[in-house]
Amino acid sequence: MAEVLAGYGLDAVVKLASNESPFPPLPEVSAVIADGLDGLNRYPDGAARALRGALADRHSVDPSQVAVGNGSCEIIVHAGAALLDPGTTIIHADPSFAMYPHLAAASGARSVAVPLAPDGGHDLDAMAAAVDERTRLVIICNPNNPTGVYRAADEVERFLNLIPDDLAVLVDEAYYDFVSEPDRGRVAVLARTRPNLLVTRTFSKAYGLCGLRVGYGIGSAGWVGALDAVRQPFNTNHLAQVAALESLRHPAAIQARADEAIAERERVADAFILMGVPFTRSHGNFILMEPPDPGMDARVLHEGLLQRGIIVRDGSALGCPGTLRVTIGAPLENDAFLAALAAVVGTTTLRGDAPQP
């Protein structure tokens, strides 16, 4: 295994299982993190004022319309804590981000899991039809994890128009940066003025800061006030705040990284087509794939990749048995993955210059 990885200039396992960025934070961001160490004897700014202000400017909203959290996960958890009680329900898609049903479990509420449409995207009509007087929260994951399918802003807006104006909707845009559709920012624009809508984003993916934990939400002051009411006073640590703030000063560099992930995603997808690997077209930094031979168990493929040092996510852990979810890594990591995949499924690698495992 070590020789195989060394052939790609890699000296460790290739981790393509958690939709992380293969790149470290930008150098300017690492510098402010280092500077911030000296201040760690003090509590962070509990209101994350500087970061909230910068995010408010970025989204043309008032700072009272910005929630900051210990990862966007925390904001999603806060939404459940603020809105759900025993006897109420939360509606989300299935399969989707595994955390959503936990919100119901934590609050004694019931989770209503609406199956995805056949294309792997949210069935927004079925989700609207599932709304009843017990529903307190609807979550839309866009693009959806683990399928990567994106629903256009018009479709989300149509959904919002189908449901009661006072029903809280959270649109989880953790993979926003990897969407290449021209309408990708429009739901966050709707969140400036629609009182029931909150859009969450994260610094964990394109910004490469998942280890620090920082994410945010944009919505009405009412939505943000409800989230603030259930959060602990110092929920976002100082290093996360300064790193996120500095990252916002370098939008072109961040988008360049996201663009590289998009280009690599399409390269991997093209390789899948040549290899006869079925997959779902993704707008995230990951692709959900199946073994090319329907007779091959995805778990066998998963194990074969592991034996070659490539860690991908077994789809059965994501509610998608028979599939694997592979995160898009750096080009060399993707090469190593494709070569290992070709070796496991018994076809030849696509890059003539790549070493054979």
Biggest distance spanned by C-alpha atoms of the chain = 61
List, edge to edge, every strand of the sheet that includes 135-141. 66-69, 215-219, 197-202, 168-172, 135-141, 89-94, 110-115
**Binding track, positions 3-22, relative to ligand PLP; x by CB under 6 A:** ----------------x---
Q: For residue 311, with 0-12 CB atoms within 10 Å meaning exposed, 13-18 middle and 19 or more buried, which class applies?
A: middle
Kindly state the smallest distance separating residue 80's Cβ from ligand PLP, in Å.
Answer: 13
Interacting span for ligand PLP (CB under 6 A) from 68-76, 120-128, 190-198, 313-321: 68-76
Q: Which residue is nearest to ligand PLP (CB)?
A: 71
- Per CB under 6 A, 107 contacts ligand PLP: no
Judge residue 37's burial from the number of C-beta atoms within 10 Å of its C-beta, 0-12 exposed, 13-18 middle, 19 or more buried.
Answer: exposed
> Which one of 156, 170, 174, 245 is in contact with ligand PLP (CB under 6 A)?
174
Binds ligand PLP by CB under 6 A, chosen from 36, 44, 71, 95: 71
Query: What ranges in 108-185 are assigned the alpha helix state H?
Result: 124-130, 153-162
The closest alpha carbon to 53, from 37, 68, 73, 72, belongs to 68
> What mask, x for binding ligand PLP by CB under 6 A, covers residues 321 to 340?
--------------------
For residue 336, what are the contacts with CB-CB under 8 A and spacing of at least 6? Answer: 4, 5, 8, 10, 14, 309, 310
Stretch that binds ligand PLP, among 48-56, 66-74, 254-262, 320-328 (CB under 6 A): 66-74
Task: List C-alpha distances in Å: 144 to 35, 148, 202.
Answer: 37, 5, 15
Select 18 or 307, whichever has its Cβ closest to ligand PLP.
Answer: 18
- Measured from the CB atom, the residue of 210 and 311 that comes closer to ligand PLP is 210
Q: Which listed residue (107, 111, 196, 204) binds ligand PLP by CB under 6 A? A: 204
**Shortest distance, CB of residue 22 to ligand PLP, whole angstroms?**
15
Print the binding letters for residues 15-54 with ligand PLP: x by CB under 6 A, - otherwise: ----x-----------------------------------
User: How many residues of this chain bind ligand PLP (CB under 6 A)?
Assistant: 13
- Sign of torsion, CA 157 159 162 164? negative
* Of positions 21, 111, 135, 145, contacts ligand PLP by CB under 6 A: 145
* Nearest distance from C-beta of residue 270 to ligand PLP, angstroms: 24
Q: Whole-number minimum distance, CB 281 to ligand PLP, in Å?
A: 17
215 binds ligand PLP (CB under 6 A): yes
Contact letters for ligand PLP, residues 259-298 (x by CB under 6 A): ----------------------------------------
| CB-based burial label for 7 (10 Å; 0-12, 13-18, 19+) | middle
Interface segment toward ligand PLP; rule CB under 6 A; list 65-73, 230-238, 296-304, 326-334: 65-73
- Which of 323, 338, 332, 351 has the alpha carbon at shortest distance from 269? 338
Cα gap 251→60, rounded to integer Å: 16
Nearest CA-CA partner of 200 in 29, 72, 82: 72
Report whether 148 contacts 159 (CB < 8 A).
no
List residues binding ligand PLP (CB under 6 A): 19, 71-73, 97, 141, 145, 172, 174, 202, 204, 210, 215
